[in-house]
Structure 1
Amino acid sequence: MSMKEWMELDIDHLEIEPVTELEKQRVKQHILKKRKKTPLWKSIGVAAVLLISATTVTTFAFPSVAAQIPFMNNVMSYFNDDYGQYTNFELFSDDLSLVDSDNGVSILIDHAVYDGTNIIVSYALETEKDLGKSIGVSGGNWFDVKDAIAMRGSDYIIQIDDTHYVGVAEFTPTFKTGINPETIEVSFKPKAFYNYETLLEVKGDWSFNFSLNRVDGTVVTVNETVKNEQVSLTLNSIEFTDVSTVLAYTQFASEDLRKEWLSVTPTLTVKDDLGNIYVDGLGGGGSTSDDFITFTGTTSFGAIKDGATKLFIEPTAIASLENGRGHEKIQLDSIVIELTK
């Protein structure tokens, strides 16, 4: 059924089919496999130029229609994993319900949230034909944030049936001032969707613009350092929100270590005293201005589980020759954070 036909449905008499447990497990296994991908890095160096074509494509907001389509109304439910990364996403994110269609592909921007550091956007695709599995956005014009000078992030799209897909994008903008604004303006203008296995590509003209206010959070200053002769890491602060936890840190590598390796970047494993694992060896995004002698970054994950009283943060520095030419792991002592109400 096309998006146009969906919009003309008598939603009061719409029968909704539930998703089977088998389908849920298949999606869960697929996304856990996909989440191991290396994050996509994107630099913004040139102002985008928008060319207006003879064909005008309008972005609509149809929350009442989207609410009647199960996979479109609760996109993030397909991405829930064992870490509970998106547990509170639907509750505290903005319900955007923006739809744009072109060349047989309709895109719905479902929900989005900005925690003051990172942005998470859930979206869905409806296609006229089966594009296959393993598809992604190609042709440039991924998610952009106004006034950001660089951006890092990741994007996952999974197929839930022959003509329906769900996606989630997570990205972190960097601003010239080093200060993240209270409100951000986001644009999404994909040029094509591309199947990595079959090389099938569907081009189109889709365009979305929306703004997000940062959710309320509490920033706790930590300034605790763990180190050895090769590397040290200082946990600067932790920000707690209803949807996320953001660790901000600075890593320092010795000059001898840097002479031996091309890059030295931190990864973290984060657990609580209840046995929950929030991050397992995740490398957060960040930047260096002195060839990895100093690395400043953040690592984000979901909200802390109820009842937890301590966080155990285990840093590991990855010294690498890059491009699969070898690396070394340097384990540091754990940082223990007492959680208060």
Structure 2
Amino acid sequence: MTKTHKDWLDLNVDNIEPMDLSTVQKVHLKQTILKKTTKKRMPKWVRHIAAAAIIGISTVTTINFAFPTLASQIPFMKNIISYFDNTGTMFENFGNYATEIGQVQTSNGISMMIESAVYDGTSVTISYALETDIDLGIHPFIGGDFMDFKGSVGSGGGSRLEKVSDTKYAGYANLTPHFNKEAPDEIEISWKPQSFINMTTNAEVKGEWAFQFSVSKLTGAIQLVNEVVTNYDVTAKFKTLVKNDMTTVIHYEYAVKSDLLKEWPFISIHFDELRDNLGNLYTVSGNGAFSKDDGISYQTSATVQAIDPAATSLTFVPEIYFSLGSGKGMEIKEMDPVTINLE
């Protein structure tokens, strides 16, 4: 049974003892976006096996914010992002910029907590956790609609949830909502998981968890880029850099000739790392792609951690993934290197 707000307020906080904290889940959209699922780096062809096209329509609804249960009343998880190996990634400084959410809900023996979130103006990263005596396996899968962003027309990304003790699971989600107009300064999020599934046994625990919260955009600066590269009948245009204290987001778009789609129905462009002129190497996290014309053109972005302020340029090599569909065949071809001079 889901606890009411009164149940939580009547808890004797002094009798609640903090416990130690410590999955792979893929967000199933029209095209699957594959994310890093283990601390060991996956082969690039696995990470990009599907074309990163996200085409969806979300119903625009008004979110009525419920009285939140403060996580400080039930502190079974803290600093969740630290349970993952984030050195050198965009999550490295997550705790310094995250907005505390602190909502907890319990249903059918599973307590779920949304700890904190960061919105960099492009993507939203959320740390969350579970506490339960039910065995959900090593990497539980979350059933039902994943997450809704008010005003968005679709979203892409992924989540990672893994067991860290006998009764606790740590997780984070990184998703990019797509809007028909400029992204809002504050984003409103609704998340209603319907079940948790043990991927080993297929056992499913259904329940009612419903979270509603908002996160304000980190302040930052926009730099116009307009670097264009064309290879193999595919053109990529790198348009802007959005820089803040936590991340740097490269916004770009690409287009393919329609005849090429007859041979390769799924085409996407990715780059896994970039290097600045000082020799620093940055790991890139793709944010999914959005198409309004059945794959002829896409809008997309990629995120890295904040760039060294002393750097004056970034260089990377985009790669084109020509795919027949998952498991049906694929080719990868490098494009010409791209250098962006930093302001």
Contact 2:55 2:290 in 1 (8 A): no
Equivalent of 1:170 in 174, 181, 191: 174
Greater fraction helix: 1
Q: Is the 8 A contact 2:291 2:298 kept in 1?
A: yes
Aligned match of 1:24 = none
Task: Tell me which residue corresponds to 1:240.
Answer: 243
Unaligned runs of 5+ in 2: 1-6, 23-35
Equivalent residue for 2:86, pick from 81, 84, 90? 81
Query: Offset of 1:136 from its aligned partner?
Result: 1.6
1:43 to 40, 53, 56: 56
SS of the aligned residue for 2:299 comes to strand
Taking only the aligned residue pairs, the percentage that are identical comes to 32
Change in 2 beyond 3 A, CA 1:106/1:305: farther
1:159-238 equivalences under 5 Å are 159-175=163-179, 177-238=180-241
Q: 1:53 aligns to what? A: none
What is aligned with 1:22?
none
2:324 to 317, 321, 325: 321
Aligned-partner residue type, residue 43 of structure 1? G
Matches within 5 A, 1:1-341: 8=12, 10=14, 31-33=38-40, 43-45=56-58, 59-63=68-72, 65-66=74-75, 69=76, 72-138=77-143, 140-175=144-179, 177-269=180-272, 270-279=274-283, 283-305=286-308, 307-340=310-343
Alpha-carbon distance between aligned partners in 2 of 1:95 and 1:180, rounded to the nearest angstrom: 21
Secondary structure, counterpart of 2:260 in structure 1: helix
Backbone CA RMSD of aligned residues = 3.1
State whether residues 21 and 80 of structure 2, in contact with CA within 8 Å, keep that contact through their aligned partners in structure 1: no
The secondary structure found in structure 2 opposite 1:329 is strand
Question: For residue 91 of structure 1, what is the amino acid of its counterpart?
Answer: N
Number of corresponding residues: 313
Distance 2:108 2:62 in 1: 22
Displacement of 1:226 in angstroms is 1.6
TM-score between the two structures when normalised by the length of structure 2:
0.80
Residue segments in structure 1 that go unaligned for 5+ positions in a row: 20-28, 51-56
Higher relative contact order (CA 8 A, sep 6+): 2
The separation in 2 between residues aligned to 1:40 and 1:200, in whole angstroms, is 31
Stretch deviating more after TM superposition (100-109 or 267-276): 267-276
User: What is aligned with 2:32?
Assistant: none
Q: Secondary structure at the match of 1:246?
A: strand
Work out whether residues 58 and 151 of structure 2, in 8 Å CA contact, stay in contact via their aligned partners in 1. Answer: no
Contact 2:244–2:306 (CA under 8 A) maintained in structure 1 = yes
